[in-house]
């Protein structure tokens, strides 16, 4: 049984789904933090086994979280779409070799970092500079500042990581995480706004309320909250996945469908 759904992948998926749910419940419902941390398993499977496996892991995580007796409840079910998209993207990044360790120094270390930081700041400025988001009738000024602050903090963290670990992959992982987060926010906002009236009962509702306070409409408030929480969440998650993969021996990694693209090749 080869291909994307080998027995090994079939064994990995339930573990990943369980990780998603247990961490997600802990972070969102017990700790009530304004991040999700329920996609570590999804991104891990996507990177190791490909887009389809990743997407399925995400979708099943949400459906099981919603419908399984004993666990079921809450409102996570309809966001299965977002989870599927996250898994797909993770598979894409995996196949592009984003998660491959790239020890480097000198220019080959700085160049990707600078590029990644530049792109992150560029995306942040698009959110910041979009007139719809800057109109005082729609968004409070603190939001724009917050977005820029988030982007700067992420950039600094990425640079620090790359310098400390001398691993240029950190830059690409952060970029992949940021992009995934932005896409996730865009996909989730309509679901949140139209299905649930814009709130989800978790720690992120505070942000939604604050944005509405500033005058944003339902969709844009959800979108704004997403742009705040999702990129951070996905960058953190992507780094966690990267660290995990880097600590697994190449011998074991090679047994996964995408394994070869994850092991550093000489020079």
Q: Would you tell me which residues interact with another protein (CB under 8 A)?
A: 1, 5, 7-8, 10-15, 17-19, 21-23, 26-27, 31, 33, 37, 40, 60-61, 64, 66-75, 77-78, 195-201, 205, 208-209, 212-213, 215-218, 221, 240, 244, 247-248, 250-252, 254-255, 263
Instruction: Decide if 204 contacts 189 (C-beta within 8 A).
Output: no
Whole-number minimum distance, CB 74 to another protein, in Å? 7
- Shortest reach from residue 187's CB to another protein, in Å: 16
Residue 48 or 116: the one with the smaller Cβ distance to another protein is 48
Contacts of 208 (CB under 8 A, 6+ apart): 198, 199, 221, 222, 224, 225
d(CA 234, CA 93): 13
Nearest to another protein of 200, 229 (CB atom) = 200
Using CA atoms, how far apart are residues 140 and 145, in angstroms rounded to an integer? Answer: 9
How far is Cα of residue 264 from the mean position of the Cα atoms in its chain? 23
Q: How far apart are CA 129 and CA 139, in angstroms?
A: 12
Q: Shortest gap between Cβ of 118 and another protein (angstroms)?
A: 29
Residue 87 or residue 112: which is nearer to another protein going by CB?
87
The answer to whether the CB of 239 falls within 8 A of the CB of 98 is no
Which of 108, 141 has the CB closer to another protein? 141
Rounded least distance, CB 106 to another protein, Å: 29
State in angstroms the smallest separation of the CB of 73 from another protein.
5
Query: Smallest distance from the beta carbon of 205 to another protein, in angstroms?
Result: 5
Give dist(CA 125, CA 80) in Å, integer: 29
Q: Are 12 and 49 in contact (CB under 8 A)?
A: yes
Toward another protein, which CB reaches closer, 32 or 126?
A: 32
User: 120 or 241, CB closer to another protein?
Assistant: 241
Cα–Cα distance, 21 to 167 (Å, whole number): 31
Query: Are the C-beta atoms of 262 and 243 separated by less than 8 Å?
Result: no
């Amino acid at each position: 049984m080869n291909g994307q759904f080998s027995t090994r992948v079939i064994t990995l998926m339930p573990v990943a789904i369980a990780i998603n749910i247990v961490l997600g419940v802990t972070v969102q419902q017990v700790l009530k933090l304004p991040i999700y941390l329920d996609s570590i398993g999804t991104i891990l499977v996507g990177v190791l086994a490909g887009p389809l496996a990743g997407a399925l892991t995400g979708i099943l995580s949400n459906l099981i979280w919603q419908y399984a007796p004993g666990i079921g409840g809450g409102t996570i079910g309809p966001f299965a779409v977002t989870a599927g998209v996250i898994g797909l993207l993770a598979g894409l990044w995996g196949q592009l070799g984003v998660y491959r360790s790239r020890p480097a120094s000198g220019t080959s270390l700085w160049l990707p970092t600078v590029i990644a930081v530049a792109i992150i700041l560029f995306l942040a400025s698009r959110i910041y500079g979009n007139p719809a988001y800057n109109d005082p009738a729609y968004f409070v000024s603190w939001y724009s500042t917050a977005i820029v602050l988030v982007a700067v903090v992420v950039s600094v963290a990425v640079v620090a990581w790359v310098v400390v670990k001398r691993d240029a992959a950190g830059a690409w992982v952060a970029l992949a995480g940021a992009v995934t987060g932005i896409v996730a926010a865009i996909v989730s906002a309509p679901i949140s706004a139209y299905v649930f009236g814009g709130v989800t009962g978790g720690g992120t509702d505070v942000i939604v309320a604050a944005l509405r306070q500033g005058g944003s409409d339902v969709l844009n408030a959800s979108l704004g909250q997403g742009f705040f929480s999702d990129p951070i969440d996905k960058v953190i998650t992507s780094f966690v996945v990267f660290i995990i993969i880097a600590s697994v021996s190449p011998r074991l990694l090679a047994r996964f469908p995408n394994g070869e693209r994850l092991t550093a090749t000489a020079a």
